[in-house]
Amino acid sequence: GRVILSGIQPTGVPHLGNYLGALSNWVRLQNQPENQLFFSIVGWHAITLPQSPSELVERKLDMLAVVLFFFQEHNPNHTELAWIFNCLTPMGKLRRMTTWKSRLAASKNLGDAQVDETGLNVGLFTYPVLQAADILLYKATHVPVGDDQTQHLELCRDIADQFNRTFKGKGKERMFPLPVQLNTPISRILSLRDPTSKMSKSTPDPQSRILLTDSFSQISSKIRSAVTDSTPGITYDPVGRPGTANLLRILRACNEINTNTYTTQGENKDDSDAALYSLASHYASKNHGALKADVAEAIEEMLKRPRAEYEKIRREEVYLRRVAREGVEKAERGPEVTMREVRERVGLV
Ligand code: TYM
């Protein structure tokens, strides 16, 4: 069977990008009984950027009410393995991570003190190594994430391969699988305010993203004010009309989820853009207003049930704490065995 692992940071209620790029896939994979699943809320990744401690406690419960699994920071094996991986990972590889480069660029724009990487913390730098530990600790074979995580997954495979070659077992069997990325058909959702960048939790403008908890009127107003273009009529042109293309992609993904025809990339008969051109053709002679109205309705249709469930579960704190406790118990067993073998191979018994 497949061992599926993924993670999400407890930095706020998930947005439409998290949902269409990753969470919707987790739900699908959960319905396939042959899969062994691990979904983690990654507090250690969250603190690579400053967090208010009291807010973090609340955001962790918010996220637990969404995914109902385990907290990374309840299982210290993650950091132990990350340390060992740190000692196998060249700095140059981490400097090439686009996530690191964009943090660096952002800190340079701040001017003054943080003019170079000396102002950024080491945890942020080795963030992708900790992510590799999250995955390999469970010997995961498949990782359902959005396409902003592709480079991290490549690094994870490099680290697995490096470990396998450096620390061969007695029978020369390899320690870690090389995990495969699983994408949804639409694995990159763009910001509603700036369709050249991805929808993200950290962008200051709340109009740029739709949250899982938004009401229909909030959804409608955010979609109505989404940046598009002034070309009349609707066509699918991701390069020339990125804002319009983003809306069409969101509409397609929501329609598929609402009609239960959603798949993982590669499983689908029609992953090409053909479906998007054909969707656009329905709106060829209509305007953005008509498209936006349908997009808002499709999102509402998709989110109304998860939203209601979330609101109910979020109030049940006793239940949530039990879920976290049971989650980490389940998530500890495999890793204990893996770590014993890792320590043995490295010579740290
Ligand atoms: P995070 O918390 O930023 O995002 C959670 C998931 O949402 C996806 N995602 C998107 N997909 C499509 N369009 C978008 N605009 C968009 N924004 C976010 C992300 O790809 C992700 O799948 N580093 C990870 C957390 C992590 C992890 C792991 C993931 C830590 N350890 C181990 C997998 C395996 C992150 O920051 O996710």
Nearest CA to ligand 1 atom 31: 131
Place of tokens 């950290």: 202
What pLDDT, on the 0 to 100 scale, is given for residue 171? 74
Is residue 20 a contact partner of residue 186, using CB atoms and an 8 Å limit? Answer: yes
Cα 16 to averaged position of ligand 1 atoms, centre (Å): 12
Residue 96's pLDDT is 96
- Residue 148 CA to ligand 1 centre (angstroms): 7
> Residue of the nearest CA to atom 7 in ligand 1?
18
d(CA 180, CA 112): 42
Tell me whether residue 133 is exposed, middle or buried, using C-beta atoms within 10 angstroms of its C-beta: 0 to 12, 13 to 18, 19 or more: buried
How far apart are the CA of 132 and the centre of ligand 1, in A?
13
**CATH 3.40.50.620 given to domain 3-89+126-184+317-346:** yes
The pLDDT value recorded for residue 185 is 85
C-alpha 149 – ligand 1 centre gap (Å): 6
Encoded tokens for 58: 């609340």
Q: What CATH number was assigned to the domain covering residues 206-312? A: 1.10.240.10
Please enumerate, as own/partner, the contacts of 324-330 that have beta carbons within 8 Å and a separation of 24 or more.
Answer: 324/64, 324/70, 324/71, 324/74, 327/68, 327/69, 327/70, 327/71, 327/74, 328/70, 328/71, 328/74, 328/75, 330/70
Residue 17 Cα, ligand 1 centroid: separation in angstroms? 9
Query: For each of the chain's 349 residues, which pLDDT tens digit applies?
Result: 899 999 999 998 999 999 999 999 999 999 888 999 999 999 999 999 999 999 999 999 999 999 888 999 999 999 999 999 999 999 999 999 999 998 888 877 766 555 577 788 999 999 999 999 999 999 999 999 999 999 999 999 999 999 999 998 777 789 999 999 999 988 899 999 999 999 999 888 999 999 999 999 999 999 999 999 999 999 999 999 999 999 999 999 999 999 988 777 666 545 568 889 999 999 999 999 999 999 999 999 999 999 999 999 999 999 999 999 999 998 988 999 999 999 999 999 8
Work out which ligand 1 atom sits closest to the CA atom of 45: 30
Q: Which residue, judged by its Cα, is nearest atom 5 of ligand 1?
A: 8
Edge-to-edge strands, sheet with 180-182 = 70-71, 36-41, 3-8, 142-144, 180-182
Ligand 1: residues within 6 Å at CB?
5-9, 17-18, 21-22, 42, 45, 131, 134-135, 143, 145-146, 148-149, 187-189, 198-200
Mutational pocket test of ligand 1: of 149, 176, 187, 193, the residue with most ligand atoms within 8 Å of the beta carbon: 149
Give the side-chain half-sphere CA count within 13 A for 118: 5
Q: How far is the CA of 145 from the centre of ligand 1 (A)?
A: 6
Report how far Cα 55 is from the mean position of its chain's Cα atoms: 21
Mutation probe of ligand 1 site: the residue of 8, 29, 139, 246 with most atoms within 8 A of C-beta:
8
From the CA of 140, give the closest atom in ligand 1: 34
Distance 284 CA to ligand 1 centre (A): 34
Nearest to 127 by CA among 158, 156, 147, 161: 156
Find how far residue 160's CA is from the centre of its chain: 21
pLDDT at 67: 87
CA-198 nearest atom, ligand 1:
15
Residue 123 · residue 48 · CB < 8 Å: yes
Give the model's pLDDT for residue 110.
67
* pLDDT value at residue 260: 86
Pocket test for ligand 1, best of 77, 134, 145 (most atoms within 8 A of CB): 145
Structure tokens at 44: 């250690």
Task: Give the mutation target among 9, 13, 18, 44 for probing the ligand 1 site: most ligand atoms within 8 A of CB.
Answer: 18
In angstroms, rounded to a whole number, what is the distance separating the alpha carbons of residues 225 and 286? Answer: 17
Measure 146 CA to ligand 1 centroid, in angstroms. 6
Q: How much is the pTM?
A: 0.94
- Report yes or no: 135 and 141 within 8 Å, Cβ to Cβ: no
Burial class (CB in 10 A: 0-12, 13-18, 19+), 10: buried
Atom of ligand 1 nearest to the CA of 145: 22
ipTM: 0.99
Residue whose tokens read 């989820």: 257
| All structural domains of the chain with their residue ranges | 3-89+126-184+317-346, 206-312
